[in-house]
Structure 1
Amino acid sequence: MASKTASTSQHIITEIGGADNVTSLTHCATRLRFQLHDQSKVDVDSLEKDPAVLGVVKQGTTGLQVVMGGGVAEYYQAIMKEPAMRQVGDGESSAPKKKEYEGVRGKYSWVDYSFEFLSDTFRPILWALLGASLIITLLVLADTFGLQDFRAEEQPPTYQFLHAMWNSVFYFLPIFVGATAARKLGANEWVGAAIPAALLTPQFLALGEAGETITVFGLPLTLNDYSSQVFPPLIAAIGLYWVEKGLKKLIPASVQMVFVPFFSLLIMIPATAFLLGPFGIGVGNGISNLLEAIYNFSPFILAIVIPLLYPFLVPLGLHWPLNAIMIQNIATLGYDFIQGPMGAWNFACFGVVAGVMVISLRERNNQMRQVSLGGLMAGLLGGISEPSLYGVLLRFKKTYFRLLPGCFAGGVVMGFVQPETSAFVFTSVLTIAAFTPMIGYTIGVLVAFVTSFLLVIFLDYRGKDERAEIRAQLAAEREAANREEDERIDAAEDAGTTPAPAPTPEDGAAGTAVATAAAPAKEVKPALRPGAVTEIGAPLAGRAIALSEVPDPAFAGGALGQGIAIEPSGDSVVAPADGSIITVQKTGHAVGLRLDNGIEMLIHIGIDTVQMGGEGFEVHVGKKQRVSAGDVLITFDRDAITAAGYPAVTPVLIANTKKFATVEAHPAEHADLGDKVITVFAKQGE
């Protein structure tokens, strides 16, 4: 039986339009990030019905974010293991591969692409930044307890080594940024990394002190400290893209692999050292100085504006420029003044989901309890707000009216205490010690958290109509569960006092109950009535064989349900009885039905035929569509299946086998459409 992770992953692939609709897939700390051929094929409502999916956000005309929370890596791995996804790489196109330097796609406006460029540049580095921020926190705690001086230039060997463990991420950050920025643009990522790396080598550093001007190639070169810088490698990557694009037009394809990187390095390293690097440092310093001027003019106003902006920036991915400025501040000023006020937004967000969790526990709303608990843990322990944002805040229209007062109240406190930090950290409970003054910062985030938490507790997180609808749904689910339990008890009692009579065949029609015991007092689907015997007709013609003969262990072992397999002689799958379509694969190789008599079926045409990508299959029905006995569901080309090297044998399974006492198969050398191939026996006392 497939795990929940695998089931959810398969569900996601189906609802985004199938693997053929995916051009690339990557993930960050909380989100699966798809690029799609056709965004209109995405069924957002169906995606969000899966409890594991915290939210769905469309980006531009081809992008899609599916928010999964802290376990996103597991879902990413499960999706990439699906056979249909084998042609889709991490960030690579499933279409025939283009050359390595394909550049910026014209589908984006320059504004949209600029923000996407920044977001996708920093996203792959997120894990390293998270890990380094917690090492910093441990060292700051050691400083707080007098074990060492965090800012001291001279450290004991043990602490010097510990400082190297986090400083490696920030010192060599230009190399990481150069690689990811180049990759995003379509340039060679390793050349993108090599350019800033040249400016961090011992040979370059030995040329002189930062700020000193020397002569190289007969030209004046002003030296700069490029460690921890983000704007120079970003600008260098943009320059690299255009250089590579030009070189490709001049150099024959047969020798591009050698000479394109050779001339790229020969051109871009001097260009970065003489021009682009100093310009990038100037851009970063200019933005940083502007914000510092605002901070010096009125830290109170800045501390309120920052947390009020973040709830609108993060959903759009527009917060990364500010994150880059935080790193720039630490590199140039030695401290940052944005992260402290930003903590007010984070903790107000976590206060909202904490309130949602309390209400969900009170209402016994298991789905929202799981969503809010996951968001709260990711936030308080990791400083990651996306699970809370997409799982709760963007799904209920009233939540922002509970969130923004917390942001404001926390921002007011931050304005008074003016917290600063000398290290880039993610604002969580574990990183509180990284801020000075720690007590003032703690009060600020606590005020933000408690304000939003209490507003949710007293005013709820939903509108009146939303609350009424959800409570009615929960009440209906509990009533259904209670009714089912009552029916089970009543049926058991009836079975103990009045044995059900032996079944007597009625009309023998495929898919109808041919015999039933005395019906229970309350309505139950015919096939589920105690003692019922239901015959299922063949949904396709051919030789009917036992499941154990199917060359696939999952089907042969009955893991997906009991039933029969048919080696087809025709080319059509039809509905064996009246019912509705539960699911149908876009590739056409499988269809699920729920018959009106209560039996659920899965018909899987061939083995591993999902890898055919829909070639040779034609689907005639859609999800949730009503069908009648004999309606054609799928037509297929047996010769195409055989030519592709896959067995055409088709398992016909009773998907809800566990609800029945016995599922009996009827092998036959040939079964026509509608011929009896399966008999389902209901349980006697349930």
Structure 2
Amino acid sequence: MNQKKRFTVKSFFSDTLIGTLSACVFPVLPIFMGAGMIKLIVNILGPNLLNWFSEDSNLLRLLGLVGDAGFYFMPVFIAWSAARHFKTSIPMAIFLGSILVHPELINIVTEGKDFSVYGIPMTLTTYTNQLIPSILIVWIMSYVYKYVEKVIPQSLRYVFVPMVTALIMLPLMLSFIGPFGTYVGILIANVVNWLAATVGPLAVGIIGGLWYILVGLGMDKALLPIIFNQFSTQGYDDLFWLSAVVGTYALMGVALAHVIRSKKRGKRFGNFKLDYFNIWWRK
């Protein structure tokens, strides 16, 4: 019989929080990677670098909108993967995610006028390029959907479960959950900016030095939302992503130094002698 795992602060962060972020982000990584590479090509070929194409070029405009789409519709992509993780209705999750990026909602936010949902004031927030709001919304929706499905007769579920779920979720997602997720994202971004502003370049060294400890603990996955937020808002991440690259090269240097030092002492690595290294060493 399986024993119930004891709740601790460490297990909450390492298993629950980081596990949820990983499960919701990893399935859609190919979209972000592909879109990011296309945006990189646009920056390289455009006026900002090689200037092979002008800003009015059809090819550059096409690639630009393709790259932007990968991040603009991030709430929809994350809603899909979150629904899979929380084992709830994927179509409903995508439906709610699409509401967050609907042009009319964006117009309401852009106008800056007071707006309410069933009389409840709505926080004027733009959800494009956002990760956390979608995860929180789908998590709450998984309980709402299950409850609504339970109380509505089976013959009426096909029509009324999606409708009732959406009507219940509207004030929750636009007045409470969505803004909270956005504020969490803003807080994370502020912490990143504070760290960079306080210790400057040393921040890269500190995080790079600790990076593979974070990887070993699985905590590197918790930083993915921060990295994606930086890429989607400013087009690059000069802290965590850079630190990971620097940490990787540092680890490669340590491994190479260890090989050279062991070779000088005549050590073997497991059951394999470094014959390939002998050839290089004699050159």
Q: TM-score, normalised by structure 1?
A: 0.35
The 1-side partners of 2:270 and 2:28 are apart by: 42
1:225 Cα deviation (Å)?
1.5
What residue is the counterpart of 1:294 in the other structure?
195
Map 1:670-681 → 2, pairs under 5 A: none
1:116 equivalent to 2:19? Answer yes
Q: Contact 1:326–1:336 (CA<8 Å) still a contact in 2?
A: yes
Counterpart of 1:269, as a letter, is L
* 1:292–1:211 distance in 2 versus 1, CA, 3 Å: farther
Deviation at residue 268 of structure 1 after TM alignment:
1.4
Q: 1:263 to 1:216 in 2, by over 3 A?
A: closer
Which residue in 2 is equivalent to 1:344? Answer: 246
Q: How does 1:4-83 map to 2 (within 5 A)?
A: none
Q: Which of 142, 146, 152 matches 1:241?
A: 142
For 1:459, which of 256, 261, 281 is the aligned residue?
261
- Of structures 1 and 2, the one scoring higher in RCO (CA 8 A, sep 6+) is 2
Question: Does 2:272 align with 1:471?
Answer: yes
3-state secondary structure, aligned to 2:186 = helix
Aligned to 2:214: 313
Contact 1:211 1:222 in 2 (8 A): no
Matches within 5 A, 1:478-627: none
Amino acid in the other structure paired with 1:126: L
AA partner of residue 137 (structure 1): L
Letter in 1 for 2:22: S
Deviation at 1:216, TM superposition (A): 4.6
Distance 1:331 1:140, change over 3 A: closer
Distance 1:176 1:464 in 2: 54
1:300, CA displacement in angstroms? 2.5
CA distance in 1, matches of 2:101, 2:115: 17
After superposition, residues 368-447 of structure 1 pair within 5 angstroms as none
Deviation per CA, 1:630-664: give whole Å up to 9, x if none. xxxxxxxxxxxxxxxxxxxxxxxxxxxxxxxxxxx
The whole-number CA distance in structure 2 between the counterparts of 1:289 and 1:326 is 13
Judge conservation of contact 1:221–1:273 (CA < 8 Å) in 2. yes
Aligned-residue offset at 1:123: 1.2
8 Å CA contact 1:211, 1:223 repeated in 2: yes
Q: Distance in 1 between matches of 2:256 and 2:31?
A: 35
Change (3 A) 1:128 1:223: same
> 1: CA distance between counterparts of 2:206 and 2:56?
38
Residue 315 to residue 269, structure 1, CA distance change in 2 (3 Å): farther
Which moved further from structure 2: 308-317 or 195-204? 308-317
Question: What residue is the counterpart of 1:174 in the other structure?
Answer: 75
Q: Which residue of 2 aligns with 1:133?
A: 36
Aligned equivalent of 2:50, options 127, 145, 168? 145
Which one has a larger percent strand, Structure 1 or Structure 2? Answer: 1
Distance 2:150 2:78 in 1: 27
| Cα distance in 2 between the residues matched to 1:278 and 1:253 | 34
Distance 1:230 1:210 in 2: 24
Pair 1:148–1:290, CA change in 2 (3 A): farther
Q: What is the alpha-carbon distance in structure 2 between the residues aligned to residue 323 and residue 285 of structure 1?
A: 15
Q: Distance in 2 between matches of 1:331 and 1:220?
A: 28
Aligned to 1:202: 103
- 1:177-224 CA-partner distances (Å, limit 9, x unpaired): 011112101111221121121121222223240755334544432322
Q: Distance in 1 between matches of 2:219 and 2:61?
A: 36
Give the equivalent residue in structure 1 for 2:152.
251
**CA–CA distance in structure 2, aligned partners of residues 169 and 253 of structure 1:** 38
Instruction: Say whether the 8 Å CA contact 2:209–2:247 is kept in structure 1.
Output: yes
Following the alignment from structure 2 to structure 1, what is the Cα–Cα distance between the partners of residues 154 and 184? Answer: 37
CA contact (8 A) 1:136 1:166 kept: yes
Which structure has more helix as a fraction of its residues?
Answer: 2
Offset, 1:330: 4.2
C-alpha separation in 2, matches of 1:245 and 1:273:
20
The gaps in structure 1 that reach 5 residues or longer are 1-37, 39-60, 62-108, 352-450, 476-686
**1-side partners of 2:114 and 2:249: how far apart?**
47
Q: Which has the larger radius of gyration?
A: 1
CA contact (8 A) 1:187 1:241 kept: yes
Following superposition, the deviation at residue 316 of structure 1 comes to 4.3
Q: Decide whether the 8 Å contact of 1:210 with 1:224 is kept in 2.
A: no
Q: What one-letter code is carried by the residue in structure 2 that aligns with 1:144?
A: L
Q: What residue in structure 2 maps to residue 357 of structure 1? A: none
TM-score, reference length from structure 2: 0.80
Structure 1 counterpart SS, 2:219 = coil
Measure how far apart 1:294 and its partner are: 1.3
Residue 284 of structure 1 pairs with residue 204 of structure 2: no
SS in 1 for 2:115: strand
AA aligned to 1:326 is: I
Indicate if the aligned counterparts of 2:74 and 2:131 stay in contact, CA closer than 8 A.
yes
SS of the aligned residue for 1:228 comes to coil
The structural deviation recorded for 1:235 is 1.0
- How far apart in 2 are the matches of 1:275 and 1:331? 24
Work out the CA distance in 2 between the residues paired with 1:464 and 1:191.
63
Distance in 2 between residues matched to 1:320 and 1:216, nearest whole Å: 35
Give the match's secondary structure for 1:223.
coil
Distance 1:289 1:332, change over 3 A: farther
CA contact 1:177–1:230 (8 Å) conserved in 2: yes
2-structure distance, mates of 1:312, 1:295:
20
Gaps spanning 5+ residues in structure 2: where?
A: 6-10, 276-283
Distance between the aligned counterparts of 2:36 and 2:107, measured in 1?
A: 30
CA distance, structure 1, for counterparts of residue 32 and residue 230 of structure 2: 16
Deviations 1:495-543 (A, max 9, x none): xxxxxxxxxxxxxxxxxxxxxxxxxxxxxxxxxxxxxxxxxxxxxxxxx
CA distance in 1, matches of 2:164, 2:249: 50
Asked if 1 retains the 8 angstrom alpha-carbon contact of 2:71 and 2:232, the reply is no
| Aligned match of 2:164 | 263
Instruction: Deviation per CA, 1:122-156: give whole Å up to 9, x if none.
Output: 1111222222222122222223213358xxxx644
1:226 to 121, 124, 127: 127
Say whether the 8 Å CA contact 1:210–1:223 is kept in structure 2: no
Q: Can you list the C-alpha shifts for 1:318-377, whole angstroms capped at 9, x where unaligned?
A: 22221101222345566533222222123345x3xxxxxxxxxxxxxxxxxxxxxxxxxx
Stretches of 4+ moved more than 6 A in 1?
none
Aligned residues with identical type, % of pairs: 26
Q: 1:162 is matched with which residue: 63, 66, 76?
A: 63
Partner of 2:280: none
**Structure 1 residues 222 and 471, CA gap change in structure 2 (3 angstroms):** closer
1:328 aligns with 2:236: no
